[in-house]
Amino acid sequence: MTEKFYITTAIAYPNGKPHIGHAYELIATDAMARFQRLDGKDVFFLTGTDEHGQKMQQTARAEGISTEELAERNSNEFRAMGKMLNASNDDFIRTTEPRHHAASQEIWKRMAANGDIYKDSYAGWYSVRDEAYYAEDETQVRADGVRYGPQGTPVEWVEEESYFFKLSAYEDKLLKLYEDQPEFIGPVERKNEVVSFVKSGLKDLSISRTTFDWGIKVPDDPKHVMYVWVDALTNYITATGYLTDQNGPRAKYWPADVHIIGKDIIRFHAVYWPAFLMSAGLPLPKKVFAHGFVLNKGEKMSKSLGNVVDPANLVNHFGLDQVRYFLLREVSFGHDGSYSEEAIATRINADLANGIGNLASRSLSMIVKNCDAKIPEPGELTDADKAMLATADAMIATCREEMSRLAIHKIVATIIGTVNEADRYFAAQEPWVLRKTDTARMATVLYVTAEVVRQIAILFQPIMPASSAKLLDLVAVPEDRRSFAFLGEAGRLTPGTVLDAPTPVFPRYVAPEPDAKA
Ligand code: ME8
């Protein structure tokens, strides 16, 4: 039976248009989903929008439109961003959908049936921007007289009747989980943060609100709507149908293999979510992994700094696969990273145009000109040829290993390492000299180089899907021989295969003239 693999992004608040941080998360998760699909797994990849909560209602009011309208408009923007980024998600969930209301009420009922929900009243600090409750000692009053929470967002005093979840009862169970499953939280910095938060003592969590109504109604008490994070986290299970139809076609995907999220929401995913699931008697996800923040030239994006970049502008300017490549190569997955136009341009030219693009076009155009436009028959392999092929053949094992740790930047580095080695091999073998002195030897060098290009292109598919497909077209690899099963000896190029003259896949980036830009 094919191994299943279920991967999710966080679901974004559609209170505004998507920004580069959202694009980054979707691109990285898409690359992981594509990797596992190409590696033969039965993948379910989910993304979507988190449409309830006070922030949505307040934003809609400020814009003078209904909350439904705001949610619909911006949810469509997120969906469109997914298309623009070539995201391969299998579903797009909106938390306002009936299927999600049903699943959220079901999980609530199960937690209640387990005796973990009680009614009381809440009095404490709340950040609408984070949709989070904070203890007083997590907040501070700054010089401007405003009280802020730990993420630097303003908090307000909330006092109302509320249902509570007995989170305090899960302290030991959670600590045991982190110990028994050391890989449950990644990277290790986030794990340490979560463990010390839980060790410092957990208070019961307010899980319903009565002072506004934009949310999912609490079963049997419609005056209350669920705290937005209770419903938001449940999206991951809604989409599988596991809670409502155990025999449905997607129920088999639960539990998730990994939730990919940003570092600011690790507490919700690594503390609240497993506690809710334990309470409801449901299996836990295998892993929660928090990526870092993408900064604009080292600065946090904010509307007040005016440096919020629309991902569509970046893609229109540099090209989609170029942006995908840059973000996955430049940012160490799990840590913060920075981008600037200069850094993107440098990577495009060094790694793509001068790197794989140049290697493919030089070697393949030599084949077209000197070998009758057919993949040549290799002669006996020298040690240099064997070493080159061994490097290419070894990539998949390294990439799988890195993927098991979600070190996607290291996968990209491994592939680029092979590109660089192939460049050195090609330069050292001088096939353009062999063309006059030893055409049989030239044929072998060109065969080896084209074979390395084939493997590089196969492995680059999760990172740059469209450009890799073009590279694979150039070496005439049939569509059904592009999965990882064909890496190494299993898929070696067949001599005699006819090639078309190569067209450039990665043009050099040339910055527009300053006045053309204005
Ligand atoms: O947190 N760089 O939604 P959201 C990288 N609805 N990632 C970033 C980022 C940046 N500059 N800014 C935000 C929410 N993100 C909740 C999630 S999940 C059940 C509910 C990431 O729209 C952020 O860390 O504020 C999160 O993973 C995702 O974008 C959505 O953020």
Give residue for tokens 């992004």: 9
- Give phi and psi for 46, each to the nearest 5: -120, 140
Residue nearest to atom 18 of ligand 1 (CA): 10
One pLDDT digit (tens) per residue for the chain, 518 residues: 899 999 999 999 999 999 999 999 999 999 999 999 999 999 999 999 999 999 999 999 999 999 999 999 999 999 999 999 999 999 999 999 999 999 999 999 999 999 999 999 999 999 999 999 999 999 999 999 999 999 999 999 999 999 999 999 999 999 999 999 999 999 999 999 999 999 999 999 999 999 999 999 999 999 999 999 999 999 999 999 999 888 999 999 999 999 999 999 999 999 999 999 999 999 999 999 999 999 988 777 766 667 778 999 999 999 999 999 999 999 999 999 999 999 999 999 999 999 999 999 999 999 999 999 999 999 999 999 999 999 999 999 999 999 999 999 999 999 999 999 999 999 999 999 999 999 999 999 999 999 999 999 999 999 999 999 999 999 999 999 999 999 999 999 999 999 999 999 999 999 888 765 54
The pLDDT value recorded for residue 518 is 44
Task: State in Å: Cα 314 to ligand 1 middle.
Answer: 19
CA distance 158 to 119: 16
Ligand 1 centroid from CA 358, angstroms: 37
List, as own/partner pairs, every contact residues 18-21 make where C-beta atoms lie below 8 angstroms and the sequence separation is at least 24, other chains included. 18/77, 18/78, 18/81, 18/311, 19/301, 19/308, 19/309, 19/310, 19/311, 20/294, 20/296, 20/301, 20/308, 20/309, 20/310, 20/311, 20/314, 20/339, 21/262, 21/293, 21/294, 21/301
Share of the chain above pLDDT 70, in %: 98
pTM: 0.97
Give residue 303's pLDDT: 65
Give the pLDDT score at 462. Answer: 98
Kindly give the distance from the C-alpha atom of residue 262 to the centroid of ligand 1, in angstroms, as a whole number: 6
Pocket test for ligand 1, best of 19, 20, 22, 129 (most atoms within 8 A of CB): 22
**In angstroms, rounded to a whole number, what is the distance separating the alpha carbons of residues 71 and 49?**
8
Kindly indicate whether the ipTM for this predicted assembly is greater than 0.95, answering yes or no. Answer: yes
Q: Measured in angstroms, how far is the CA atom of residue 223 from the centroid of ligand 1?
A: 29
Residue 141, beta-bridge partner list: 147
- What spacing in Å lies between the alpha carbon of 248 and ligand 1's midpoint? 30
Q: How many Å lie between the centroid of ligand 1 and the Cα of residue 149?
A: 17
Packing angle, helices 20-38 and 67-84, rounded to 10? 50
Name the residue at shortest CA distance from atom 10 of ligand 1: 21
State the closest ligand 1 atom to the C-alpha of 14, by its place in the atom list counted from 1.
22
Pocket probe for ligand 1: among 7, 8, 9, 13, the residue whose CB has the most ligand atoms within 8 Å is 13
- Ligand 1 centre to CA of 428 (Å) is 48
Out of 293, 303, 333, mutate this one to test ligand 1's pocket (max ligand atoms within 8 Å of CB): namely 293
Nearest to 53 by CA among 226, 234, 217, 273: 226
Q: Whose CA is nearest to atom 23 of ligand 1?
A: 262
- Ligand 1, CB cutoff 6 Å, lining residues: 10-13, 21-22, 24-25, 50, 232-233, 235, 261-262, 264-265, 293-294, 301
Q: In 3-state terms, what secondary structure has residue 64?
A: coil
Q: Residue 246: what pLDDT?
A: 87
Cβ atoms of 41 and 1 closer than 8 Å? no
> Which ligand 1 atom is the nearest neighbour of the CA of 261?
27
Closest residue CA from atom 29 of ligand 1? 22
* Residue 309 confidence (pLDDT): 83
Q: Which atom of ligand 1 is nearest to the CA of 9?
A: 27
Instruction: Give residue 16 CA to ligand 1 midpoint distance, Å.
Output: 12
Cα(120) to ligand 1 centroid in Å equals: 31
From ligand 1's centre to the CA of 293, what distance in Å? Answer: 9
The closest residue, in CA terms, to atom 31 on ligand 1 is 12
Residue identified by tokens 């797009």 is 92
Residue 402 pLDDT: 98
Atom of ligand 1 nearest to the CA of 24: 5
